[in-house]
Chain A
Amino acid sequence: MHTVHDEPVTETVTPVIRVDALTKRFGSRTAVDALSFEVPPGVVAGFIGPNGAGKTTTLAMLLGLVQPSSGRASVLGVDLAHPDRYLPSVGALIETPALYPGLTGIENLRVLAALGRHDTARIPVVLDLVGLSARGGDRFGTYSLGMKQRLGIAAALLGDPQLLVLDEPTNGLDPVGIREIRDLIGSLATERRTVLVSSHLLGEVEQICDHLVVIESGAGVYSGPTSGFVGSGERLLVVAPEHDADLDALCRLLTADRFDAEVEHASGRLVVPLAAEDDARRTAAAVNRLAHAHGIVLAALGTEQERLEDRYLALVTGGDR
């Protein structure tokens, strides 16, 4: 597991979620394997991993739905063995929203408000937050998948929780809905509220999460700030000659001239990894001069920062994309 120490310690913060060697076995299958991570308060934490990596099982254990086989964890400082003590301060949407199809959105929220002793005055507030005010009186069974997701988020927000846990909240949403939920999630993290969101939409995670937990096959791969994860990725100089036929020749030229160039035939370009101390502008100029000196016209020349998706794929597949 990668550990990130970006800056000197300046203060001590009690983690909102602390997981230590948490393990869950279903028969002979190990769904979560000695997973350890922490989530500091006030962040939007992304929980990412491939399908079947154990994300939902981990969240279910944190929410008291599934009993761990071994290991320990605490939520809001309370041991996992006492979900009744911390769940009143946690709002959660796990898997698909499961509510009563014959009841309206408002009636469903009234049921949950009664169960959790939440203030029913919050119902119109949370419906408005998720953009369902106009459809609150319609039966849940008539909702689209996206609307069901929104109502599930509204239900999670009913108790104005300190910790919000959302499992794939953008499932089934159209692009506009995804953006709205992304903006909503981003706005929900405050000094007193932490958000843990699992998602397979890495672009979305990258935009809204300031902390990341990455798992694969039930085991932790990375835990720490998003900047530490993505920031540790390479910068690349991307070079595209006008003609694909020049790709190999240009690669040989660059390699002979100290550059560690690599051809990407599928995209018709060369990539040159930049070291941390490299000046991208000067390196690009050097490459351009070299190409021009040998009669190769460049159609594109620029830099790329490795994205979360690239870094994630490199980590979980060992770089074999």
Chain B
Amino acid sequence: MTTTTTATTASAPFGSTGLPSPHRARGSALARSGAGEAVKVLRRRFVLVTLAVVVAIAVGGTALSIVGAQTTGGGPGSFLTVAELSDAGGGTAVLGQTAAFTYVFLLAVFIAAVAQEFTRGTFRTMLLHQPARTPLLWGKVGVLIGYAVAAAFVAEVVCWFTARLIAPSQGIDTSAWTSIDALGAAAGDLGRVGLFIAGTAVFATMIGVLARSVPIGVGAALVWSGPIENIVGDNWSGAERWFPGLLLRSVVAPGSTSTSTGRALVTLGAYALIAVGVTAVALRRRDVTS
């Protein structure tokens, strides 16, 4: 129906004219998305704020764990014992326990980070520069996980030094904390925290994409991880084997629940696959209208 004053538009078949591969398309979509997110999280002021929060949580959590250390008992839901803290991994054992306490906070942060991209419209803006939706999202989340793990490493160091300062006052022997075994235990603790962070991020990403709203997403997560997981968990013995929040707690703080780390990892792996699938389908099928 249209012509110009000097020429007619050709009836080129749809999709028949391929564009030359532009130089801008180089590199994987996932890496490009990660690079974009890295620009955000590696800003000086953002790093400084993160450090301040991490140090505060690490110092507070460690102090609480050391001061509250029990001479006997222990087990699910209780503080570490003096004996456990005197082991080679005692200096960093509090990291897992502290991380477990931050579960709801971490969940909310990841949900907000994802959902906000939709409410602000920045996901739309990013799609115009990198249109592969799934890699765009997971590249961003991947960098956030890496950033959080790096922060956990800083927290672990802070935990160790803080514990070292406070432990003698509580009668905890710290002589084993500088052994090779202590290094191995520290690596194990960091690995568990890394898995905990990654698992939390995967579930939070799914919630953020489905909700596309910070209040709705965070609200739903708070209701689930607070009243439902804990109240139901207190009254149903199977909850620790099936509820994701409690399974993540099993991973990050072994012994804090009755579920073994291995079983928790297998169940969480299955959940994570489902979450990634649901997220991918939601991303592909839903229009980006805001």
Contacts and interface: CB of A to CB of B under 8 A. Distances in A.
Contact of B15 (A63, A74, A97): A74
Given A64-B127, A114-B35, A115-B130, A95 B121 contact: yes
Contacts of A67: 287
Contacts of A100: 40, 120, 122
Interface stretch (A76-84, A291-299, A305-313): A76-84
Interface stretch (A2-10, A188-196, A249-257): A2-10
B19 A77 contact: yes
Best-surrounded residue of A7, A78, A84, A114 (most CB of chain B within 10 A): A114
Given A18-B14, A94-B124, A115-B130, A89 B7 contact: no
Nearest to B35: A114
B131 A15 contact: no
Best-surrounded residue of A18, A20, A43, A103 (most CB of chain B within 10 A): A18
A120 B7 CA distance: 38
A110 B7 contact: no
Contact of B43 (A95, A103, A116, A118): A103
B19 A84 contact: no
A13 B8 contact: yes
A99 B14 contact: no
B39 A107 contact: yes
B129 A5 contact: no
B121 A117 contact: no
Interface of chain A, helix or strand or loop or mixed? mixed
Nearest to B25: A88
Interface stretch (A223-231, A239-247, A279-287): A223-231
Interface in B21-43: 22-27, 29, 32-33, 35-40, 43
B175 interface: no
A116 B19 contact: no
A259 interface: no
B2 A37 contact: yes
Contacts of A87: 128-129, 131
A190 B154 CA distance: 53
Contact of A14 (B9, B23, B39): B9
Given A18-B9, A159-B24, A9 B3 contact: yes
A57 to B, nearest CB: 8
A148 to B, nearest CB: 11
A287 to B, nearest CB: 34
A60 B4 contact: no
Given A1-B1, A40-B4, A13 B10 contact: yes
A117 B14 contact: no
Given A43-B4, A65-B287, A77-B15, 5 more contacts: A3-B3, A66-B288, A76-B19, A77-B17, A156-B128
